[in-house]
C-alpha cells in the first residue's frame, strides 16, 4: 500500500527552528512536495525535491533521502505567520500526488 | 489573472439531492484534479483529468462524476448526496503531468450534507 507519515502536531517558539519529518512508502517515486496550508485556506506550494539532498529557499529548506524514504522541512527564524499545517506529498509512478495528513505547527510567542 | 475559482464557497445540501461543484482555471493548464479533505486525513483524490476530453478515477471516486469538455472547466457532480460526502472539496490544476509541475489549488468548497 501507499503511506505517507508525518507528525500530527508540533509546537515551536517564535524565532526558533523547527524540523517537520515525513516518511513515505509509495509505488514509484517521481518527487516529493511540501505545501503550506493556513486554516480555512487552500494549500500553497513550498518546495519540491527529486534528488537526494537539501534544497534551500530563504527561511525554508527541504531535505530528501530516497534510499530511506524520508524527507524533512526545516523552518528557520519562525514567525507567527508560520502557524499553519504543512503537507507532505509524494508523486507516484502514475504522476499522482499521495498526501500525508499534514502537520499542524503551532508557534508560541 | 484569477487562477482557479470554485463555486459555491459553501453549501448545505439535503441528502439525496444532486449537486455540481464548479471549477474554472484561466492558466491553460492541461491537468486538473478534484480532492476532498477531511479532518485527520490527507487530501484524497476523487477524479482527475490529464487533458481536455479525458478523465480518470482517483482513490475515492464512488458517488462522484466529472467531465472535461474544455481546458478551463472541470465540474464535479454528486448524483445523490450522502452525509459521508460532507467535506471540503479542493480543485487543483497543473501545467502538465511532468514530475516538476506544481499543483495550484482553488479556494475550496465547504459542503455539508444533512
Strands (E), chain A: 3-5, 9-13, 18-25, 32-37, 44-49, 53-57, 60-65, 70-75, 84-91, 97-99, 103-108
From chain A, the residues in CB contact with B108 under 8 A are 41-42
CB–CB contact A95 B90 (8 Å)? no
Contacts across the A-B interface (CB distance below 8 Å): 49
Residues 6+ apart with CB under 8 A from A40: none
Q: Confidence band (pLDDT; 50, 70, 90) for B99?
A: low
Query: Is any Cβ of chain B less than 8 angstroms from the Cβ of A50?
Result: yes
**What pLDDT digit, counting tens, does each position of B66-87 carry?**
999 999 999 999 999 999 999 9
- State yes or no: pLDDT of A15 exceeds 70: yes
- Tell me how close the Cα of A4 comes to any Cα of chain B, in angstroms: 9
- State yes or no: pLDDT of B91 exceeds 70: yes
Q: Least CB-CB distance to B103: which of A8, A41, A97?
A: A97
CB–CB contact A101 B41 (8 Å)? yes
Task: Taking residues A23-50, report their average pLDDT.
Answer: 94
Q: What is the mean pLDDT of chain B?
A: 94
**What pLDDT digit, counting tens, does each position of A59-93 carry?**
999 999 999 999 999 999 999 999 999 999 999 88
**Amino acid A2: pLDDT:** 81
Amino acid at each position: 500500500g501507499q503511506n505517507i507519515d508525518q507528525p500530527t502536531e508540533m509546537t515551536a517558539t517564535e524565532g526558533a527552528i523547527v524540523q517537520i519529518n515525513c516518511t513515505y512508502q509509495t509505488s514509484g517515486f517521481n518527487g516529493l512536495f511540501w505545501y503550506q496550508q493556513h486554516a480555512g485556506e487552500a494549500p500553497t506550494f513550498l518546495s519540491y525535491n527529486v534528488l537526494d539532498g537539501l534544497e534551500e529557499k530563504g527561511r525554508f529548506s527541504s531535505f530528501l533521502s530516497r534510499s530511506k524514504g524520508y524527507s524533512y522541512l526545516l523552518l528557520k527564524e519562525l514567525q507567527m505567520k508560520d502557524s499553519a499545517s504543512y503537507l507532505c506529498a509524494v508523486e507516484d509512478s502514475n504522476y499522482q500526488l499521495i498526501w500525508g495528513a499534514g502537520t499542524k505547527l503551532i508557534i508560541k510567542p | 489573472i484569477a487562477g482557479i475559482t470554485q463555486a459555491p464557497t459553501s453549501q448545505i445540501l439535503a441528502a439525496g439531492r444532486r449537486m455540481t461543484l464548479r471549477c474554472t482555471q484561466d492558466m491553460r493548464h492541461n491537468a486538473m484534479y478534484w480532492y476532498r479533505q477531511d479532518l485527520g486525513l490527507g487530501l484524497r483524490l476523487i477524479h482527475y483529468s490529464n487533458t481536455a476530453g479525458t478523465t480518470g478515477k482517483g482513490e475515492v471516486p464512488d458517488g462522484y462524476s466529472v467531465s472535461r469538455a474544455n481546458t478551463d472547466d472541470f465540474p464535479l457532480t454528486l448524483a445523490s448526496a450522502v452525509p459521508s460526502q460532507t467535506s471540503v472539496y479542493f480543485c487543483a490544476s497543473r501545467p502538465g503531468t511532468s514530475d516538476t509541475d506544481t499543483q495550484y489549488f482553488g479556494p475550496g468548497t465547504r459542503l455539508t450534507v444533512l
